[in-house]
Structure formats: structure tokens, C-alpha cells
Amino acid sequence: MPPPPCALCTTNRAAIVRPKDHSKLCKSCFITVFETEIHHTITSNNLFHRGERIAIGASGGKDSTVLASVLKTLNERYDYGVELTLLSIDEGIKGYRDDSLETVKRNATQYSMPLTILGYAELYGWTMDQVVSQVGKKGNCTYCGVFRRQALDRGAARLGIQHVVTGHNADDVAETVLMNLLRADLPRLSRTTSIITSTPSTSDTTNIQRSKPLKYAYEKEIVLYAHHKGLDYFSTECIYSPEAFRGSARALIKNLERVRPSAILDIVRSGEDMAALCGPAPAHAADDGGGGCGRTESSDIGGAVAPGLEVEITSATVQKRGKKGGVAYVAPRQGKGQVMGKCEVCGYLSSQRVCKACVLLEGLRKGRARRGVEIEGGEGG
């Protein structure tokens, strides 16, 4: 039996069963629909404004590669008038980033976009390999997540760019919704479901805005899109794999998707609705996942919460932004009456005296000093 005609154009033969709703589409209609939905996400949320410079957080993985490709296409097709640039972070994981950064470099050529690569070594004095040799493989994702988050913001600030887009997809957001329910972290649930967040940067005058144009795109469709467009991406998972518990949430989502294809977006929708029931948005720990191992912030799901860095922009302020053309900023507040201030060490916005990254760095330095002493002592005896 020949394949049925495409449900949209009714002319071509269907070649793809769309993961989102199982509709049968031809290749070109799938690509159009996929791009159009992202365009809709961008326009209905007023994500961009003309003349804006935007840094794409690029890991070389499928999500950020598809994001770069789609944004380039849409920017040209719909004349957004934005200036796109690629921003990559080199965590310093041998054999992981080496290859993926090569991919990003090729992407830069393929999409004719400028590329900036910033290393953890350069920003923090530690590569992830050095961190792992210090703290072990358990819990290193905490470091990677905290460092990476600041790294993108610092990188953008260096480039004088105020807006970073990341490749978080619907599966990531759904996973975060479930994870935050499992760890009883309502404030973070509220923030991670929002499509735009604002991250105060190291400078007093600039805030870095973060947004997720792929928030409603399925991981499976991203893979299909990359495949059918013949995109060049790097597909190795981080070698320092995340905690088992997050894996179980991911597996649950895959099972849910199998039972009901809409479940991923239904979870995202629930997350958005629940965010509206969380009261005013406090500033808090940022863990909106991200390509590769950056998904994991804390392996302590029992409730330990890292001090926060990002501030949610509510829909009201988003609208304000749309009207005035500037970036609105919600005054940072902390849950228990704490006031957001600046980190005494690095100046990054923090609810604590010293920000999370600097606390981790201090721990690493002490660990290195202590270990150094032990080794010397051992050699001496």
C-alpha cells in the first residue's frame, strides 16, 4: 500500500509521522510547520526586537544547532532585523568539547555567524577535568551547571550583548517541571517554565536576558528536523553523566510521550499554570537545564537549594518591554525577605554575601591546598 498523502499539502506523499500529534506529513510540510511554530513562539512572546544583538548559546549539540539554523532562516524569512552570534563555552572536558567545539566552528562557517568561545579555565581558573579530579565524578554537574550559567552571561556581557537564547526544548522544560515537583522547589518551577528570564550580569548597568525559542519544540522533532535538513551536529552525551534520579524523570517523560504524544506539552502547560499559582516570582537558583550535562545543578534532590541568580520576567513586564522597546527588569527579591545584592568576590548578583560560583571556587581552592599538604605529608612519611 502506498503511503497516504500529506495531511497539510495533500499533494506529496507523507514521509513523516509527526511526534507531536502523530499527523502524517511530507518532508517539506514538516519543515515548514516546525519553523512556523517557532516563529509563532517568538512573535507571540515578543522575544526579539529589531536591531537587537542576540547570542546563541551553542554547544554543537542538536538543540543549539537546530536553534541557530532555524533562527537564521526565520531572521531572513520574516526580517526580524536581529544580529545573531554564536557563543560557546569550553568547560575543559577532554574528548567531549574538543569535538563539539569543532562542530560549532563549522556551524559558524555554515551559517556565516561570528563565534566566540570562552573557557572555564579562562573564566574560573579551573577546567571541568580539573574540577573532577578534585571533587570526583559525583556532584561535578553542580559545578558545571553553576559555572556554565555565569559563563554564558559573562561571555555575552563581554560581547556587549544583552540577550542569550538557549536550545532548551519542550522535553527539557517538562523534565524540569517534574523534577521541581519531585524536589519540592516551587519557586524554581515557576521560573524555569517561563520563556524569558533575566540574569543580572557582572556589570551594574546591563542585565542579560535569557530566552528559549524552542520551548514548545519536541526533542524528537528537533532530531527529525536536523536529520531532514542535513544539519551538522555533534551527538555525544556528556561523559560525566547526570544523577540517576534525573534520569528516572527523563524516562518517565519518554513513557508518557509514548502513551499520549501530547503529554510533554501538557506538562509544560501544567507548569505554566502552576507557575501562576506560585505567587510573586522570587529570585532563586537557576537550573533550566541546557545542552549536555549543564542540565543538572544539584544532585541533592532532598531539597537543598542553591542561592539564586536569575530573575523571572513576568508576562506583565514582558508586555511592558514590548511597548517601550527596552528590557524590563523585575526588582530582585528573595523568598525569606532576603535582599539580592552583589557577590563580594566577583560582583555577580547574589542573594548571599558570596555567590554560588565563588563559594564553589573557594571550596576547590581549599581542597587543592589540603590535598597538596596531604600528598606532601605522604611523600615525607
> Where along the sequence are the contacts to another protein (CB under 8 A)?
20-21, 33, 36-37, 39-41, 44, 177-178, 180-186, 189, 216, 245, 248, 252, 255-256, 258-260, 262-263, 265-267, 269-274, 276-279, 301-303
User: Considering the complex, what minimum distance in angstroms separates the CB of residue 256 from another protein?
Assistant: 5
Residue (of 177, 182, 192) closest to 264 by Cα position: 177
Q: Which is nearer to another protein, 129 or 219 (CB)?
A: 219
The correct pick among 38, 101, 268, 355 for binding Zn ion (CB under 5 A) is 355
Inter-residue long-range contacts of 312-315, CB under 8 Å, 24+ positions, other chains counted: 312/190, 312/191, 312/194, 312/197, 312/198, 312/281, 313/194, 313/196, 313/197, 313/198, 313/209, 314/194, 314/281
Output the known binding site: 57-59, 63, 89, 167, 172
Residue 250 CA to residue 177 CA, distance in Å, equals 11
The residue count for binding Zn ion (CB under 5 A) is: 6
Which residue, chain included where needed, has cell 549543564?
Answer: 294
Residue 293 CA to residue 336 CA, distance in Å, equals 30
Q: Which is nearer to another protein, 118 or 265 (CB)?
A: 265
Q: Which does 204 bind (CB under 5 to 8 A by kind): Zn ion, another protein, none?
A: none
Which residue, chain included where needed, has cell 506529513?
Answer: 25
User: Considering the complex, what minimum distance in angstroms separates the CB of residue 260 from Zn ion?
Assistant: 16
The correct pick among 38, 343, 349, 364 for binding Zn ion (CB under 5 A) is 343
User: Considering the complex, what minimum distance in angstroms separates the CB of residue 377 from Zn ion?
Assistant: 32
User: Considering the complex, what minimum distance in angstroms separates the CB of residue 6 from another protein?
Assistant: 14
Output the known binding site for ATP: 57-59, 63, 89, 167, 172
Residue 57, C-alpha cell as written in the block: 548559546
286, 199 contact by CB (below 8 A): yes
318, 46 contact by CB (below 8 A): yes
User: Judging by beta carbons within 10 Å of its beta carbon (0-12, 13-18, 19+), is residue 270 exposed, middle or buried?
Assistant: middle
Interface mask toward Zn ion for 295-334; x: CB under 5 A: ----------------------------------------
**Site membership for Zn ion, residue 239 (CB under 5 A):** no
Q: Which does 343 bind (CB under 5 to 8 A by kind): Zn ion, another protein, none?
A: Zn ion
Q: Which is nearer to another protein, 121 or 278 (CB)?
A: 278
103, 90 contact by CB (below 8 A): no
**Site membership for Zn ion, residue 358 (CB under 5 A):** yes
**Site membership for Zn ion, residue 345 (CB under 5 A):** yes
H-type alpha helices, the chain: 27-44, 62-77, 97-110, 120-124, 128-135, 140-158, 170-182, 186-192, 219-228, 244-259, 263-275, 315-324, 356-380
Segment interacting with Zn ion (CB under 5 A) among 84-92, 185-193, 299-307, 342-350: 342-350
Residue 142, C-alpha cell as written in the block: 553542580
User: Considering the complex, what minimum distance in angstroms separates the CB of residue 165 from another protein?
Assistant: 17
